[in-house]
Chain A
Amino acid sequence: SAVISQKPSRDICQRGTSLTIQCQVDSQVTMMFWYRQQPGQSLTLIATANQGSEATYESGFVIDKFPISRPNLTFSTLTVSNMSPEDSSIYLCSVEGPGGRRGELFFGEGSRLTVL
């Protein structure tokens, strides 16, 4: 299985500020996924981050609001820019399982953001 570390685990942020979330995986992976889980809701894919190319964003999410970096095969960052209270969510980093466990998603512990 993949071990995923996310930082910060939680934060309280002021409106209008930006926060960068880091995701570190213990193995090299081609794709890393960033999900958002609003309070009491399901998981919504924000974007897919590939090393060496621009992230692919899902409908409703734009690079200016959620810039993503993927400098190598084990690390990615997601920035939540110009935050508003509506951005209060859990942000989850995810990767697919290696080898025969492809398709199975492993999630980090999540970063719980509260925007005041």
Chain B
Amino acid sequence: GQQVMQIPQYQHVQEGEDFTTYCNSSTTLSNIQWYKQRPGGHPVFLIQLVKSGEVKKQKRLTFQFGEAKKNSSLHITATQTTDVGTYFCAGTPTGGYKLSFGAGTTVTVRA
């Protein structure tokens, strides 16, 4: 079955630095979504990408969907303490309907 893998599992970042988390699928995806879950909270939708090579920005967050529609990345610039949390990617396989979540990247920030 389809698997969505995320790396790294943990990201410890110095405040002000940049980092990237990656999402890879074993099959082609019709879309990729990203969610953020704060400690003790519930997942909150950030963005959805549907086009090959698509890039979207939300302030300091840049989301990219790969040309082959099998991978995605989330890049955060100038990390702040408010960026702490777990970032999940989730993808729907092409021709399918079931959304599969990656294992998440848990981000901690050193002030």
Mark A residues whose CB is within 8 Å of B.
Answer: 41-45, 92, 97, 103-110
Contacts and interface: CB of A to CB of B under 8 A. Distances in A.
Nearest to A97: B45
B50 to A, nearest CB: 9
Interface residues of B, number: 18
Interface of B: 31, 33, 35, 41-45, 48, 88, 90, 92, 98-99, 101-104
Chain B interface mostly: strand
A92 B43 contact: yes
Contact of B102 (A42, A104, A106, A108): A42
A107 B33 contact: no
A104 B45 contact: yes
Contacts, number: 37
A104 B104 CA distance: 17
A43 B98 contact: no
A110 B43 CA distance: 9
> Which of A42, A109, A110 neighbours the largest number of chain B CB atoms within 10 Å of its CB?
A42
A42 B3 CA distance: 12
Given A106-B45, A107-B44, A42 B88 contact: yes
Given A103-B31, A103-B33, A104-B48, A42 B42 contact: no
B104 to A, nearest CB: 5
A17 B102 CA distance: 31
A68 to B, nearest CB: 17
